[in-house]
Structure 1
């Protein structure tokens, strides 16, 4: 067990990438997609993970070779770098804090539903208990934030992500789609029904999250990796992309196998209880809920971290987790996180919409790394090869197409 834990810790930055990428927003999007559209959007997930892997590697490699972090490099080397970096900070912070509200709302609801599953009498106190759970969870998270140790954040994320992955794969063994349906999901198509365009944009927004790539150099800095760790960094990026695909596809497949053919659609956390319990039983349902909870809690840390880290990145290019600025901004984020639990909004619709907004800064993030990475004066003999440039170029085209699709989807919702 100790040897396995040491191997997992070797992939520390990968777990931060998974934490940013797979939260309750991602799980919600996968559940809604699987229950509503079957496996037809699996191709979007695959491309998103492929391009995400390339971007995770690109940002990590740039940091190792130059010693510079992302926004610091943009500000220093790009024309109009300062306004671009500020725009990215505002856009990413808005998306991540919006996600944080939904994450805490859904996670608190999940804990309540797991308790109510075995003690139905608690339903009469739902609002009060959900709010109390939310306040308790965010308070514990903030207390851990105040410790300010990268190694501690990493260990907690390893635990949450491991629980999440095991839970969802176990659920897939209980409820799964037919192999032919999975194969058909790799054929590109956009569901020509209401909400189809929005869901495609949400998929990309949650899987190709700009925060994942921007924070990569900072976490590599926290890990202490240098030129001697280039191969390890590459392996770490591949592991992150593969695990994101496997875990996300498992969630979609469970929702497809349990709900799609029954014609059941998910609009509220409680719907998963009513839909899955008769098929999977209480034990399997509890495992699935535990995985969703782990997904939520694994994303709370990165979402709380993102704003102060990006600001520190822009100003000095250094990982900063102990300053008064870090504590103040994460404190504000904790208060923002309580908005949905306090007002009792349905967090699922908000989560999907927040993932759509995450797409809009993505093209800037891709263009930025393409420009700074292809400068021989800084990268010397480590400029990206044709394959990496091709993947990054394709990811930019993909992001632009999906962003346009997201604009159309939002206009249609007005």
Structure 2
């Protein structure tokens, strides 16, 4: 028992040093007590103790994934709803892999550097897979958030253009980002509670829209059977875009390191699995299901022309709700999507830079603050969009990082010298990781080729 507790302390990530040991001991005692309780009580306890999964869900439910679901509903109705649960199921195999590394061996990137070289760990995984993409992708989140807030405020009788409202968005996301890891564990808890509340708001807001427009249950169930893929480059592009958000290097790193920041050790793996299923997986699936449903029932049923982006899709959809309250509820729920993503991108950016250069994380340091707020330069998107060539270049590079980083994680999990008896011995788990790697890499490659017009 003493040796195991010692191992838990050794595996702690520096951000977890601010958490008092008695608090970690109390959490472990609560975990042990949960094992003796009925199923529902155990699930409730796991949700209470969890948190990194909700941060991951808030991060993953971003402008890209929700916009893809909106377009999917308009263009194909319910037909490719299956992509949502399939992609998340595939993604959870890799999340579970990085969770095992976190709880059994500690930080992932130093392990990669040691076993597979700095180019794989620090360069491709930390910088290429997390820090640099986080800076680029935040532009789209700020653009969406600014436009949504601009469209929301007239319902309250005043105008708040995106050229000015970015200050509010930047202020809120900056406060949450810099709160993470501070004040013992309270800062982390505040961020996790915000993410839980924001996801709850998404679910309630989109559920209200579903209630207003209804559900075609026959088509819903048929659409969740993986029996149809749209033809042509655009259709394949949409399928892959809908699924790619559920699994990628940034998702793996964020869940891995936020778990370590909570002080998760050897005995927290079961908690982590419950958190990744009910905190990350389930909210992602439910929210995207609801978004597809409301657009399939409205704009999709009208066979209307597909607007070019999420803002025009939302503007075309809200009048169909038939009430001011419904429109407000929809916009508020939708606004929570880019807000939570910005916070997640900021955090994963700081983690990526610090792990790449081997710096000891200190959230009070100026270095951490600069690294964490680099993605927030995305507020410039309220005036201009990212050039298409940059999006293509970054996506192509992410394809490379997903491939190498993913194989590195796979090899670490199966490396007896690294994991000893904790290595993966389940053939299904290994197969799931292999499918995830193929899916993510193929998605990025097809996306790039489509942007270059190869499949058009």
Question: TM range, normalised to the smaller chain?
Answer: 0.7 to 0.9
Cα distance in structure 2, aligned partners of 1:331 and 1:211: 16
C-alpha contact 1:168 1:288 (8 A) present in aligned 2: yes
RMSD (Å), alpha carbons: 3.0
The residue that corresponds to 1:106 in the other structure is 144
2:286 to 223, 226, 246: 246
Q: Which runs of 5+ in 2 are unaligned?
A: 1-42, 183-187
- Greater CA deviation, 186-195 or 19-28? 186-195
State the secondary structure of the residue aligned to 2:452: helix
Matched, 1:85 2:85: no
2:134 to 73, 78, 96: 96
2:226 to 173, 187, 208: 187
C-alpha contact 1:168 1:247 (8 A) present in aligned 2: yes
Aligned 1:48-63 pairs, distance under 5 A:
48-63=87-102
The residue that corresponds to 2:382 in the other structure is 341
The residue that corresponds to 1:28 in the other structure is 67
The residue that corresponds to 1:172 in the other structure is 210
Distance 1:339 1:356, change over 3 A: farther
Cα distance in structure 2, aligned partners of 1:98 and 1:260: 31
Residue deviations 1:187-209, cap 9 Å, x none?
34332256223212322332213
Greater helix share, 1 or 2?
1
Shift of 1:40: 2.4
State the secondary structure of the residue aligned to 1:263: coil
The residue that corresponds to 1:373 in the other structure is 413
The residue that corresponds to 1:138 in the other structure is 170
State the secondary structure of the residue aligned to 2:245: helix
Residue deviations 1:98-148, cap 9 Å, x none?
3211111111211121112353x74xxx7xx21111122103322343344
Shift of 1:411: 1.9
Aligned 1:271-282 pairs, distance under 5 A:
271-282=313-324
Q: Which runs of 5+ in 1 are unaligned?
A: none
Aligned residues: 402
Provide TM-score, normalisation by structure 1.
0.87
C-alpha contact 1:33 1:252 (8 A) present in aligned 2: yes
The residue that corresponds to 1:266 in the other structure is 307
Shift of 1:359: 5.1
Shift of 1:245: 1.1
Cα distance in structure 2, aligned partners of 1:353 and 1:191: 26
Which protein shows a greater Rg? Answer: 2
Distance 1:263 1:357, change over 3 A: farther
The residue that corresponds to 1:235 in the other structure is 274
Shift of 1:224: 1.2
Provide TM-score, normalisation by structure 2.
0.80
Cα distance in structure 2, aligned partners of 1:48 and 1:355: 18
State the secondary structure of the residue aligned to 1:77: helix
